[in-house]
């Protein structure tokens, strides 16, 4: 394969890279995917839920029946935590359990190899255990990549950078600026083995049903971030996500935050008797719309996490569906450029247009104010405590005359927060999540 020429070289065999490879190979192009891990999924981490993406159904129409999914998610729980109490809001929808599923839990170690195998079956070449160090340039145009293999130069008409949140190739090309620590979050996750019947009994599930739980408050010791627990067939995906600057300011290791979450009185019974199967960590781009780099150059496209395609609403954290959609759009852009015989920046600019028409850039723009809203420390410290304390007062029986709810709320607010401050926070939340 020394100095072999491909139509497209893709760096990274995660969901974005594999989607682009599958779409391009199906169109008859000669495609190579370079993966630094021993196999796809070996070095990849995500929370655990893949949400619906039209591109995936177009590429694999029977995806819900064919893919190695764990459970379909038909219940979402939002849980506020203090050190000793919890308050939950739950939504269950049976329509989410119908094909094509609204969301499914996955294990990347199973899913990624299966997904890239679909691209291989279509004709793509997978080259694992290969580190890509740089781009190869001809004047101002990318014409290939340099790998650490012997005679490791590989040439292509187009290179697609799908190399993750801290994309080396996007930075090498000057498409992406350097971000500070406040632009990223650190995630730590464990996969805990537990029998399927135990999971279903503890979480009130039947058959292939699954639940996605999001936690806020004491889950992260009051720092900016949240925690999650997702049900798989016979394991739980459990983890925490904390803003990097918060961790550094508090000088708390992410592993300590995860241990604190696991030992919370609300969480500990849910994971009792579970055994650790896997631990992983990951850097997450959290600037959203403000973090999106220039997405194309002469002979180069940037997709997935490398492009900062992640949306946090405070209720859900989604990235994998945006990765898949961007990989599909990149493939379409390459095919359009191929028809014109123009792989220049001008020829590949249609990629940006395709993303603007899709949900990817629209969602990022819609939730562009979420980051500033989620930086409010009251979300993680005061409000979870206030919600749990008011709930305690409502349900507590003391033998004394009961008060109406508004009086209880006012009593808990006194000395902690003013009504004006709450209204301002509600307006900020509305601007971030509710109205345009």
Q: pLDDT tens-digit profile of 219-277?
A: 999 898 999 999 999 999 999 999 888 898 899 999 999 999 999 999 999 999 999 99
Q: For the chain, give the secondary structure using H, E and C.
A: CCCCEEEEEEECCCHHHHHHHHHHHHCCCCEEEECCCCCCCCCCCCCCEEECCHHHHHHCCCHHHHCCCCEEEEEEEEEEECCCCEEEEEEECHHHHCCCCCEEECCHHHHHHHHHHHHHHCCCEEECCCCEEEEEEECCEEEEEEECCCCCEEEEEEEEECCCCCCHHHHHCCCCCCCCHHHEEEEEEEEEECCHHHHHHHHCCCCCEEEEEEEEEHHHCCCCEEEEEEECCCEEEEEEEEEHHHHHHHCCCHHHHHHHHHCCCCCHHHHCCCEEEEEEEEEEECCHHHHCCCCEECCEEECHHHHCCCEECCCCEECHHHHHHHHHHHHHHHHHHHHHCCCCHHHHCHHHHHHHHCHHHHHHHHCCCHHHHHCCHHHCCHHHHHHHHHHHHHHCCCCCCCCCHHHHHHHHHCCCCCHHHHHHHHHHHHHHHHCC
The domain in which residue 402 lies consists of 373-434
Vertex 49: Cα angle to 44 and 55 (nearest 5): 85
Q: Which of 240, 233, 258 is nearest to 105 (CA)?
A: 233
Vertex 85: Cα angle to 80 and 87 (nearest 5): 40
Same domain for 150 and 191, yes or no, is no
**Residue 237, domain member (yes or no):** yes
Same domain for 135 and 15, yes or no, is yes
| CA gap 160, 158 in Å, rounded | 7
**Residue 377, domain member (yes or no):** yes
**Residue 88, domain member (yes or no):** no
pLDDT value at 2 more than 60 = no
Q: Which residues pair with 92 in a beta bridge?
A: 75
- Mean pLDDT, the chain, rounded, equals 91
Q: Where is pLDDT greater, at 371 or 133?
A: 133
**Residue 37, domain member (yes or no):** yes
pLDDT value at 133 more than 90 = yes
DSSP-derived pairing of the beta strands 125-127 and 184-193: unpaired
pLDDT value at 1 more than 50 = no
Q: Where is pLDDT greater, at 169 or 365?
A: 169
| Per-residue confidence (pLDDT) for residue 288, from 0 to 100 | 73
What CATH number is attached to the domain comprising 193? 3.30.9.90
| Per-residue confidence (pLDDT) for residue 414, from 0 to 100 | 93
| CA gap 124, 166 in Å, rounded | 25
Q: Largest Cα–Cα distance in the chain?
A: 84
Positive or negative torsion for Cα 187, 191, 197, 202: negative
CA dihedral 167, 169, 172, 176 (to 10 degrees): -50
Average pLDDT over residues 58-76: 95
| CA gap 310, 376 in Å, rounded | 20
- Tell me the per-residue pLDDT of 19-57, one tens digit each, with 9 for 90 and over: 999 999 999 999 999 999 888 876 666 778 999 999 999
pLDDT value at 436 more than 60 = no
Same domain for 112 and 221, yes or no, is no
Same domain for 346 and 240, yes or no, is no
What CATH number is attached to the domain comprising 171? 3.50.50.60
Residue with tokens 């409000």: 383
| CA gap 159, 136 in Å, rounded | 10
| Per-residue confidence (pLDDT) for residue 179, from 0 to 100 | 67
**Residue 246, domain member (yes or no):** yes
Indicate the angle between helix axes 320-340 and 15-26, nearest 10 degrees: 40
**Residue 84, domain member (yes or no):** no
Average pLDDT over residues 344-373: 91
Same domain for 206 and 243, yes or no, is yes
Same domain for 53 and 165, yes or no, is yes
**Residue 296, domain member (yes or no):** yes
Domain end, chosen from 235, 268, 285, is at 285
- Say what percent of the chain tops pLDDT 90: 73
Same domain for 191 and 165, yes or no, is no
Kindly state the tokens that stand for 106.
């996955």
Average pLDDT over residues 173-194: 85
pLDDT value at 422 more than 80 = yes
Same domain for 132 and 64, yes or no, is yes
Average pLDDT over residues 104-118: 95
- Tell me the per-residue pLDDT of 298-310, one tens digit each, with 9 for 90 and over: 999 999 989 989 8
Q: Which residues in 174-196 are b (16+ Cβ under 10 Å) and which e? A: ebbeebeebbbbbbbbbbbebee
| CA gap 25, 299 in Å, rounded | 18
Same domain for 189 and 278, yes or no, is yes
- Tell me the per-residue pLDDT of 342-354, one tens digit each, with 9 for 90 and over: 999 999 999 999 9
Question: Rounded to whole angstroms, what are the CA distances from 391 to 150, 191, 384, 397, 400?
Answer: 65, 32, 11, 12, 17
**Residue 251, domain member (yes or no):** yes
Average pLDDT over residues 387-410: 90
pLDDT value at 371 more than 90 = no
Question: Rounded to whole angstroms, what are the CA distances from 24 to 157, 160, 248, 328?
Answer: 13, 12, 42, 9
Among the ranges 68-77, 315-324, 394-403, which has the highest mean pLDDT value?
68-77
Same domain for 25 and 153, yes or no, is yes
Same domain for 113 and 169, yes or no, is yes
Domain end, chosen from 304, 324, 357, is at 357
Same domain for 256 and 347, yes or no, is no
Total of domains in the chain: 3
| Per-residue confidence (pLDDT) for residue 3, from 0 to 100 | 64
**Least confident range of 60-64, 76-80, 313-317, 392-396:** 313-317
Domain end, chosen from 285, 320, 337, is at 285
| Per-residue confidence (pLDDT) for residue 43, from 0 to 100 | 63
How far from chain centre, in Å, is Cα 212? 14
Among the ranges 171-180, 282-291, 301-310, which has the highest mean pLDDT value?
301-310
| CA gap 291, 178 in Å, rounded | 10
How far from chain centre, in Å, is Cα 318? 4
């Amino acid at each position: 394969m020394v100095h072999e020429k491909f139509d497209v070289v893709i760096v990274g065999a995660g969901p974005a890279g594999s989607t682009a490879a599958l779409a391009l190979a199906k169109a008859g192009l000669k495609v190579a995917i370079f993966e630094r891990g021993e196999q796809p999924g070996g070095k990849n981490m995500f929370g655990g839920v893949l949400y619906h993406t039209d591109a995936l159904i177009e590429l694999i129409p029977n995806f819900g029946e064919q893919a190695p999914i764990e459970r379909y998610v038909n219940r979402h729980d939002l849980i506020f935590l203090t050190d000793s109490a919890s308050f939950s809001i739950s939504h269950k929808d049976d329509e989410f359990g119908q094909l094509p599923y609204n969301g499914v839990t996955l294990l990347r170690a199973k899913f990624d190899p299966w997904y890239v195998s679909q691209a291989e079956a279509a004709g793509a070449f997978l080259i694992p255990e290969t580190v890509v160090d740089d781009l190869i340039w001809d004047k101002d145009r990318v014409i290939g990549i340099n790998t650490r293999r012997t005679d490791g130069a590989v040439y292509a008409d187009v290179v697609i950078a799908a190399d993750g949140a801290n994309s080396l190739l996007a930075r090498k090309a000057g498409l992406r600026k350097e971000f500070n620590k406040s632009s990223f979050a650190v995630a730590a996750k464990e996969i805990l083995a537990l029998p399927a019947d135990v999971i279903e009994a503890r979480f009130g599930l039947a058959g292939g049903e699954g639940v996605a739980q999001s936690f806020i408050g004491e889950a992260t010791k009051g720092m900016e971030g949240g925690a999650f627990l997702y049900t798989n067939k016979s394991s739980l995906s459990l983890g925490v996500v904390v803003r990097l600057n918060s961790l550094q300011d508090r000088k708390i290791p992410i592993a300590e935050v995860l241990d604190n979450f696991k030992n919370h009185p609300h969480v500990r019974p849910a994971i009792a008797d579970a055994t650790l199967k896997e631990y992983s960590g990951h850097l997450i781009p959290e600037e959203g719309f403000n973090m999106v780099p220039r997405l194309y150059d002469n002979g180069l496209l940037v997709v997935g996490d490398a492009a900062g395609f992640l949306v946090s609403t405070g209720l859900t954290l989604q990235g994998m569906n945006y990765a898949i959609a961007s990989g599909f759009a990149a493939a379409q852009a390459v095919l359009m450029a191929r028809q014109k015989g123009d792989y220049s920046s001008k020829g590949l600019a249609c990629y940006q247009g395709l993303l603007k028409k899709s949900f990817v850039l629209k969602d990022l723009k819609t939730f562009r104010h979420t980051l500033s809203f989620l930086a409010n420390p009251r979300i993680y410290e005061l409000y979870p405590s206030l919600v749990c304390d008011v709930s305690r007062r409502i349900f507590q029986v003391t033998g004394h005359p009961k008060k109406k709810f508004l009086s209880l709320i006012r009593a808990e607010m006194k000395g902690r927060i003013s009504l004006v401050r709450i209204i301002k926070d509600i307006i900020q939340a509305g601007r971030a999540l509710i109205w345009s």
